[in-house]
Structure 1
């Protein structure tokens, strides 16, 4: 809601969607970097006989995953409110919603999102990630898949803007 308590208009939503698409790409890079740092610390520690990754490295991964999911949820919200624009829907729409809530409300293991998520993934755990050299997954949701969707949304919005003469912010300046 804007400060005058009227719902955000379509142009505001389009600008917000472009911003969140940028944040998703930026946050995905942060998450990938922190996962790489975690993996390197784990390998270094195992070679030194230490089984534990330093807390600050672990915390960074968790925070980056949380902020990535928050950005994805915000873009999901914008896309859902711009239903007349024909924007691509996320292939992981429901999972983004559940995972964002699950990570937000980690302290309540019996809450609605936790219960729904565990119905789909019985052993779901807040903060659990899987990764390879090419992708990171938050439970079964691909970070690269969300980044691709965000880019598709932004491209559709920019195409719409060029057809209508609207302007959208350029994250490069």
Structure 2
């Protein structure tokens, strides 16, 4: 027998919290990508003109930048998967996740980094033969996570937030806004 799920109000609360945090994480990923791209271009320029000046810390292409981008990428997948899970459990009519690859498989691919030929990688390769571990797609100046642009992800997250909040209103249990004070008298 499947374990019971939490009540709808708790699911809605998690969907809103995860959508809000996922939005911030997708933005953090895009910012880390921009920093890395800028540093990469500065480094390539310095190499092309033969300068020995390594540049200042903001324009150097370093392992730390690569690691930061990978971490921001992974954390975005974790949060996006939590949003998808809450939305799935609620059964609300929300727009589909914008990428063609299932977010849970993408998250599992990064999460199970130690599995050389794990089930997530095999399942993703059935859908997209070129999928590789730790892959971040770029194109046309847009960062893509799992074949969905950051702009598409942000729009999806905003849509989820709006639809879940409307459902909470209809249920008579509206979700607080970011700026609402926590009522400590009920704690």
Q: How does 1:1-173 map to 2 (within 5 A)?
A: 7-49=5-47, 53-83=61-91, 85-92=92-99, 94-132=101-139, 135-173=142-180
Runs of 4+ aligned residues of structure 1 deviating over 6 Å after TM superposition are: none
SS in 2 for 1:48: helix
Deviations 1:64-90 (A, max 9, x none): 01010111100010011001x333332
Counting matched residue pairs gives 167
SS in 2 for 1:71: helix
TM-score, normalization by structure 1: 0.86
Unaligned runs of 5+ residues in structure 2 are: 49-59, 181-187
Structure with greater Cα Rg? 2
TM-score, normalization by structure 2: 0.80
Deviations 1:79-134 (A, max 9, x none): 11001x33333243752121111111122121111111122222322222233575
Q: Tell whether the 8 Å contact from 2:168 to 2:174 is kept in structure 1 after alignment.
A: yes
Cα RMSD, aligned residues only: 2.2
